[in-house]
Amino acid sequence: MDSLTIENLQELANSQPLLLILAIIWVMIWKGLALWRAAERGEKIWFTVILIVNTLGLLEIIYLFFVAKPKQPEESPEIVNS
């Protein structure tokens, strides 16, 4: 198997531009969602790691679904009418 080089990437981009565009859109969506959630939760380390590391969305998906699970809505106390 050939090693991944700039020439290989350029050849892939020239032969399959739609694949490259779809990959970029895929990564941007997941990265944006994960960065938003990390910023919202004040998790600076996760924000930095997600911003720097590119894993085709895998790290972002792991963070969103396993690390930063959505908060359950708090139940409001019942009002008792007397």
pLDDT along the chain (82 residues), means of 10: 75 88 92 96 95 90 89 67 61
- pLDDT at site 77: 62
The Cα–Cα gap between 59 and 44 comes to 15
Domain boundaries, the chain: 11-67
pTM: 0.69
- pLDDT at site 13: 84
Contacts of 62-69 spanning 24+ positions with Cβ under 8 A:
63/34, 63/37, 63/38, 64/30, 64/33, 64/34, 64/37, 68/34, 68/37, 68/38, 68/41, 68/43
Residue 31 in tokens = 């990265």
Residue 18 in tokens = 């739609």
